[in-house]
Amino acid sequence: MKIANDRKTNRREFLGGATAASFMIIKPGLVRGTAANSAARLGLLGCGNRGTHDATSMTSVSDARIVALADLFEDRLQKAKSTFDNMAQSKGYPGIDSAQMYRGPKAYEQLANSKEIDGVIIATPSYFHPTHLEAAVEAGKHVYCEKPCGIDIPGTRRVLEAGKKVNGRFSLAIGLELSYATSFAEMVRRIQSGEVGKTAFAEAYYYAPPVILPPWPDVSPDERKVRNFFHYTDMCGGQILDQGIHPLDVVNRCLQTHPVKAVGTGVRRVIHDDGDCWDLTSVIYTYPETTVTFSCTWFDNGWWDVCERFFGDKAVAEAHYSGPVAIYGDTVWSVGQVGGGHTPSDFSAAGVFKSNIGDADTEKAKEFMQSVISGQHRNEAESGVEATRTAILGRMAATMGREVTWDEMLRSEEVLDPHIDLHKVS
- Provide the CA 322 distance to its chain's centre, in angstroms: 19
Q: What is the pLDDT of residue 336?
A: 66
- Provide the CA 237 distance to its chain's centre, in angstroms: 13
| Beta sheet of 404-405, edge-to-edge order | 333-336, 324-329, 315-320, 305-312, 199-208, 291-298, 280-286, 261-267, 404-405
- Classify residue 31 as left (phi > 0), alpha (psi -120 to 50) or beta: beta
Among 153-167, 298-312, 349-363, which is the least confidently predicted range? Answer: 349-363
What letter does residue 180 receive in the DSSP assignment?
Answer: G
- Could you tell me the pLDDT band of residue 337, with boundaries at 50, 70 and 90? low
Q: Strand locations in 240-373, DSSP E?
A: 261-267, 280-286, 291-298, 305-312, 315-320, 324-329, 333-336
Q: What is the pLDDT of residue 164?
A: 97
Q: Nearest to residue 176, comparing CAs of 338, 58, 6?
A: 6
Question: What are the residue ranges of helices labelled H in 69-181?
Answer: 74-90, 107-112, 129-138, 153-166
Among 150-164, 208-222, 242-256, which is the least confidently predicted range? Answer: 208-222
Round to whole Å and give the CA distance between 355 and 247: 16
Looking at the chain, the number of H-run helices and the number of E-run strands are 16, 17
Sorted by where each starts, the structural domains of the chain and their CATH numbers stand as 11-177 (3.40.50.720), 179-355+381-425 (3.30.360.10)
pLDDT digits (tens, 9 = 90+) for 61-86: 999 999 999 999 999 999 999 999 99
Q: What is the pLDDT of residue 279?
A: 95
Coil, helix or strand at residue 84? helix
pLDDT digits (tens, 9 = 90+) for 162-182: 999 998 999 999 999 999 999
Q: What is the pLDDT of residue 63?
A: 93
Q: Other C-beta atoms within 10 Å of 304: how many?
A: 21
Q: Nearest to residue 244, comparing CAs of 298, 163, 318?
A: 298
Residue 4, pLDDT above cutoff 80 = no
Task: Please give the C-alpha separations between residue 349 and each of 20, 46, 210, 214, 240, in angstroms, as whole numbers.
Answer: 27, 15, 9, 13, 15
Cα 72–77–80 angle (5° rounding)?
Answer: 140
More confident residue, 15 or 181: 181
What percent helix, strand, coil does the chain show, rounded to 5?
A: 40, 20, 40
Amino acid 95 reads G
Q: Nearest to residue 175, comparing CAs of 159, 158, 153, 188?
A: 159
Mean pLDDT along residues 307-331: 95
Cα 246–200–289 angle (5° rounding)?
Answer: 85
Mean pLDDT along residues 408-423: 97
